[in-house]
Amino acid sequence: MSTHLFTPYTLTELQLPNRVVMAPMTRNRADDDGVPVPMMATYYAQRASGGLLITEATQVSPQGRGYVNTPGIYTDRHTAGWRPVTEAVHAAGGRIFLQLWHVGRISHTRFQPDGAAPLAPSAIRADTQVFTTDGFRPASKPRAVSVPEIADIVAQFRHGAAQAKAAGFDGVEIHAANGYLIDQFLRDATNRRTDAYGGSIANRIRFALEVTTAVVQEWGPGRVGIRLSPRGTFNDIQDSDPPALFGALAEALNTFPLAYVHLVEPQPGHPALTVQSGVDPVAPVVRRRYRGTLILNGGYTRETAEAALAENGADLIAFGVPYLANPDLPERLQRQASLNPPDQATFYGGDEKGYTDYPTLAEAPVSA
């Protein structure tokens, strides 16, 4: 069997030892103020053998929060909390990007300053739930942001990017996927604006490009990625023509010196990711139109990952749940060893159980 997955890759200035990427996964282990806690440094350092680690989504402002115990990157306390994480990963020989996040309408008034309505491109409530201290609750109805407020949010992404640099990260990833704020601006089902940020595809991608401009200006060439989910329906999201929309966005992203585009394109039968019916895969469209590094994510196995790389469908492959439960995932994949089963009850919130206690092959050898 070919071993493209375990060959080195040059990601601009970063030398990756393999093409295994740890996908961003919300784990809800930060403290009540969104400050990372010590066990988060252990968690990420345990997984440092991957080519690149991408952190869980990290809100860039108080308004950008939609779930309990998710981390932030907008105060000095947040930055200080993240610094031990980057130091631990680097000490273990790894490379790590922080994912910048604003949830938009996927929030609840209890998370918003002064109990205000969440922000969104248009005042359309999401048919979804958010994770609170009282369990899952329906998302609150949002209000449409004004044009001056859009400029403020772009500035929040810029500030978060600067804070991430101060925390010692190797780069950042802009979260423009999974039905959160940037994705809400992209899709015509959630963006009903009639100003310069709504209507045409050129207008609907404007906010994403403004955020990307600000973040790249903060970090410079080759240190910023962006995550997209063209066919995803998570968080009550869809669009009338995803290939046209994301093809145009991919073309526009060529104007930036990005590190990569990270595409969520679920493999057939993926149990956790649903796709918009009647829409063909968009990854081939993005691959044709975007000229830089492409990461694919969405239920890949060693076999399907190798096939995607061999066929030049992607340059890197991101793994989510398998990496959550297997801190030494690259070694397990390379040795074709059995994988630890994930404990779904501990995915969101809690302590070290189901977080830092999954055994490595060395700790609990399994038959290859």
- Mind listing the pLDDT tens digit for each residue in 187-218? 999 999 999 999 999 999 999 999 999 999 99
Q: Domains of the chain: which residue ranges?
A: 4-346
**21: its two tokens:** 């990427």
Q: For position 133, what pLDDT does the model report? A: 84
As a whole number of angstroms, the distance between CA 200 and CA 125 comes to 22
pLDDT, one tens digit per residue, over 34-52 is 999 999 999 999 999 999 9
DSSP for 57-108, written as a single string: EEESSGGG--STT--B-SSHHHHHHHHHHHHHHHHTT--EEEEEE--TTSS-
Kindly report the CATH class assigned to 4-346: alpha beta
What positions carry a catalytic annotation?
180
Question: pTM score, two decimals?
Answer: 0.97
**Nearest CA-CA partner of 205 in 254, 172, 257, 158:** 254
Residue 120 has pLDDT above 50, yes or no: yes
Taking the C-alpha atoms of 102, 21, 169 and 340 in order, what is their torsion angle to the nearest 10 degrees? 90
Question: 2: pLDDT confidence band, cut at 50, 70 and 90?
Answer: low
Mean pLDDT for the chain? 95
* Mean pLDDT of the region 11-16: 95
**Which residues are paired to 264 by β-bridges?**
297
As a whole number of angstroms, the distance between CA 265 and CA 154 comes to 27
> Is residue 220 within a helix (H) or strand (E), and if so which, with residue range?
none
With contact defined as beta carbons under 8 Å apart, do 63 and 21 qualify?
no
4 burial (CB, 10 Å; 0-12 / 13-18 / 19+) is buried
pLDDT, one tens digit per residue, over 290-335 is 999 999 999 999 999 999 999 999 999 999 999 999 999 999 999 9
| 274-293 b/e (C-beta count within 10 Å ≥ 16 → b) | ebbeebebbbebbbebbebb
**294: its two tokens:** 């492409």
As a whole number of angstroms, the distance between CA 184 and CA 364 comes to 44
**Residue 30 DSSP one-character state:** S
